[in-house]
Amino acid sequence: MNESLISVVAPLEGDTPEVVEAFVDETVAVLRTLVTHYEVILVDDGVPDGTVARVRALLERYDFVRFLRLSRHFGEETAIAAGLDVAIGDYVIVMLPNMDPPALIPEFLERARNEGDVVYGVRLHRKSEPFWYRAGARLFYWYINSVVRAGIPKDSTQFRCMSRQVVNAITQIRGPDQYLRLLTSYIGFRKHALPYAPINRSGAAIVRPKREAVHLARALVMDHTTHPLRTVSWIGVVLALFNFVVVAARNATGDTGGQIHDALAFLVIAVMLATLGEYVAGITNRLRDRPAYYVREEHTSSVLLREERKNVVGMTS
Amino acid sequence: MIRSDNVASVIVGGGFYGARLALVLRARGGRVLLVERESTLLGRASLRNQARVHNGYHYPRSILTSLRSRLNYARFLTEYADCVDQSFAHYYAIARGSKVTAAQFTEFCRRIGAPLSAAPAAVGRLFNSSRIESVFEVRECAFDAVKLRERVTRELEAAGVELATETEATRITSRAGSSARVTLRRASKDTIVDADVVVNATYSRLNHLLASSGAAIIPAKHELTEMALIEPPPELGGAAVTVMDGPFFSMMPYPSRGLFTLSHVRYTPHCSWHDRAGDSIAMIDDPSRGRTSRHLHMVRDAERYLPAMRSARYVDSLWEVKTLMPRSEQDDSRPILLRRSDEHPACLTVLGAKIDSVYDVEEALTTMLPRESAVAVA
């Protein structure tokens, strides 16, 4: 039991040095109580320079910390995928430093070991989020679970613990977008939800920017299903039929008006084209078949123990 | 036992280099004293390392180093045939996304004339094909540090090199003419010996002696390293495996203990530091103290490339301070260093990274020694 290796993967994006330091302090303290062998992989997906310097300082303080710096900001999902690619643990725990409490690591690990291959976190509440964000989230989960049945558990977060088998399955799936929540649903295996109350280290509102939230929702849907494409196609067919009937009736009566339904038809066609365009864009991205991310540099812990520093001979010159 | 206070040469450091250089200097004539801090020769870095005799494969980005390495390999094998293990197969696996592709590696080996063939299919299947592009069989052997110690000790004795073990050279001072005076400390008792040539072959402690002698230090980089000693997975049938290039690992026979070393670019160095002028010099007596072994990290990462590593059994770790020149980190050429001290012209400092580079060191040393002492050869 003690001979397993635990990896913690944490993407860093815009996190302040204080948040990262507090996260690493707590995580290492918790891991040390559980196992002898662990690693904490911090993936730099665009953190400020100040944070980079402080993270480098952490590598001199704690053993078994790895700092993977991506070549640019690739997004949270890709940063997590990069972390999973290099993680070596028997169990890999994904966490967001700002909102996931390290104190829950033992519980996640315990349940992954005893009950299932994946244990994922579910928010107990979304109290800290503004109304529009909560409404959007509700709409998203309704669509993705009731209509297209993607099986993304409602309010599930990135906080999760996966067995090596699951990590191997997930890292085999290569693509431009690696949405962990979708992939977890796709690969199967035994899954368990673990409800928890997210924390908020930074104190700032923890919502994604609107544009990013919309992009994420769109990508999660389109990556999983062609439902929107088929839906708009059928709407188009129905409207075309309706149009044919109306035009035929109008010709019969000699009525030349009808701008409203022309406009309606144009709108539907525009929506169809836009949807089609999204899928074509998706195919194009996939056909390009280029690496999902690039690693600029990787650093590993280099801890010079205090005794060693103390134990020195002075220069005589 | 120090019998006299006036010798031709003092060699500080009884590792493989120090012992060899003692023999070279003894052949030139005069009394030679070899000083070693530990109780036996070849007990530190010469013993606690990968035991690989390099045959050039390791440096696909530096043809010159590789060619040199091939020459030294042949020479070392001829000279120390009784101290090397050549009985095992050695496989080099090229990882996908590594700094060298299989095609480049093949071409590189052709150019340096190193034997290379495709590994048997049964061996290739042991590797994870999604991470490994290609597996080759090469010729590269391991030395037995204990046999090497026994042989070198015999040779030193036969040549009449005087030996002072459990003795530390604490200070060098210059004397009139071009000779030097070395202060030796044994069981807290100081003695003094004068010599025409002092060779500092102390490897990771090279700057201790220089600094305490008031000489300019060498801007060396040190790494505190751990190599796991393991019983290899039976599937490999006693073969050595090196996965390259980039964050790679290597599993080699370690003949003196009948085990295998497992080293990993990411996990073997626990920490690193530089010796810089003006700073105090860090001193590490027991490299393993206060350290948590990373053997499980090494095995788990190796498993991702070679799943059979799951059944490797960890036995022990070899801890040592590894010293390299900062420059060699950049061009990958692992040069040797031989530098005469400005402050103490009789003192020469040597540093090398590979056991077989000893020939380069000997060659360089010979060119730096004063001609007149050659006359003294009996």
Identify all chain B residues contacting A36, using CB atoms and an 8 Å cutoff: 292, 296
Q: Is residue B58 part of a domain?
A: no
Residues B309 and B174 in one domain: no
Q: Into how many domains does chain B fold?
A: 2
* Predicted local distance difference test score (pLDDT) of residue A316: 37
The minimal CB distance from A88 to the residues B212, B278, B304 is found for B304
* Predicted local distance difference test score (pLDDT) of residue B282: 80
- State the count of interchain CB pairs (< 8 A) between A and B: 79
Structure tokens at A123: 């928010």
pLDDT tens by residue, A166-191? 998 888 877 666 777 777 777 788 88
Please choose, from the candidates B264, B283, B93, B149, the residue with its C-alpha nearest in 3D space to the C-alpha of residue B207. B283
Q: Is residue B358 part of a domain?
A: yes
As beta bridge partners, residue B71 has none
* Predicted local distance difference test score (pLDDT) of residue A308: 56
Structure tokens at A91: 């169990």
Residues B374 and B260 in one domain: no
Q: Is residue B64 part of a domain?
A: no
- Chain A's closest residue to B205, CA to CA, is A313
Q: Is residue B294 part of a domain?
A: yes
* Predicted local distance difference test score (pLDDT) of residue A136: 83
* Predicted local distance difference test score (pLDDT) of residue A205: 66
- Residues with Cβ within 8 Å of residue A206, at least 6 apart in sequence: A98, A99, A128, A129, A198, A200
Between A14 and B373, the higher pLDDT residue: A14
Residue A315's pLDDT band, with cuts at 50, 70 and 90, is very low
Residue at token pair 């002028």? B277
Residues B149 and B108 in one domain: no
- Tell me: pLDDT of A305 over 90: no
Q: Chain A contact for B64, CB < 8 A?
A: no
- Chain B's closest residue to A6, CA to CA, is B297
Residues B103 and B228 in one domain: yes
Residue B334 domain boundaries = 1-51+144-217+327-378
Residues B228 and B316 in one domain: yes
Residues B239 and B318 in one domain: yes
The answer to whether residues B50 and B107 touch, using CB atoms and an 8 Å cutoff, is no
For chain B, which residues score pLDDT lower than 50?
Answer: 1-3, 328-332, 373-378
pLDDT tens by residue, A27-60? 999 999 999 899 999 999 888 888 888 898 999 8
- Tell me: pLDDT of A311 over 60: no
Q: How many CB atoms lie within 10 A of CB A285?
A: 13
- Chain A's closest residue to B286, CA to CA, is A308
Q: Is residue B263 part of a domain?
A: yes
* Predicted local distance difference test score (pLDDT) of residue A2: 52
Residues B207 and B293 in one domain: no
Identify all chain B residues contacting A301, using CB atoms and an 8 Å cutoff: 270-271
CA distance B346 to B323: 23
The minimal CB distance from B212 to the residues A5, A305, A316 is found for A316
* Predicted local distance difference test score (pLDDT) of residue A177: 64
Identify all chain A residues contacting B278, using CB atoms and an 8 Å cutoff: 315
Residues B40 and B160 in one domain: yes
Q: Is the pTM of this model over 0.90?
A: no
Residues B131 and B277 in one domain: yes
Report the CATH number at residue B232. Answer: 3.30.9.10
Q: Is residue B125 part of a domain?
A: yes
A63 and B292 within 8 Å at the Cβ level: the answer is: yes
A37 and B294 within 8 Å at the Cβ level: the answer is: yes
Residues B125 and B150 in one domain: no
Q: How many CB atoms lie within 10 A of CB B251?
A: 29
Q: Is B42 left (phi over 0), alpha (psi -120 to 50) or beta?
A: left
* Predicted local distance difference test score (pLDDT) of residue A291: 77
Choose the mutation target among B208, B222, B266, B311 for the interface with A, i.e. most A CBs under 10 Å: B266
CA distance A59 to A54: 9
* Residue B200: C-alpha distances to residues A18, A306, B205, B284 (Å): 47, 28, 9, 18
Instruction: Enter the ipTM.
Output: 0.79
Residues B259 and B306 in one domain: yes
3-class SS letters over chain B: CCCCCEEEEEEECCCHHHHHHHHHHHHCCCCEEEECCCCCCCCCCCCCCCCEECCCCCCCCCHHHHHHHHHHHHHHHHHCHHHEECCCCEEEEEECCCCCCHHHHHHHHHHHCCCEEECCHHHHCCCCCCCEEEEEEECCEEECHHHHHHHHHHHHHHHCCEEECCCEEEEEEECCCCCEEEEEEECCEEEEEEEEEEEECCHHHHHHHHHHCCCCCCCCEEEEEEEEEEECCHHHCCCEEEEECCCCEEEEEEHHHCEEEEEECCCCEEEEEECCCCCCEECCCCCCCCCCCCHHHHHHHHHHHCHHHHHCEEEEEEEEEEEECHHHHHHCCCCCEEEECCCCCCEEEEECCCHHHHHHHHHHHHHHCCCHHHHCCC
- Chain B's closest residue to A299, CA to CA, is B266
* Predicted local distance difference test score (pLDDT) of residue A207: 64
B272 and A302 within 8 Å at the Cβ level: the answer is: yes
Averaged pLDDT score across all residues of chain A: 82
Structure tokens at A129: 């989020």
How far does CA B304 lie from the centroid of its chain?
Answer: 29
Q: Is residue B377 part of a domain?
A: yes
Residues B374 and B343 in one domain: yes
In this structure, chain A runs to a length of 317
* Predicted local distance difference test score (pLDDT) of residue B2: 47
Rg (CA), chain A: 25
Report the CATH number at residue B341. Answer: 3.50.50.60
CA distance A109 to A117: 10
Residue A14's pLDDT band, with cuts at 50, 70 and 90, is confident
Please choose, from the candidates A68, A94, A96, the residue with its C-alpha nearest in 3D space to the C-alpha of residue A201. A96
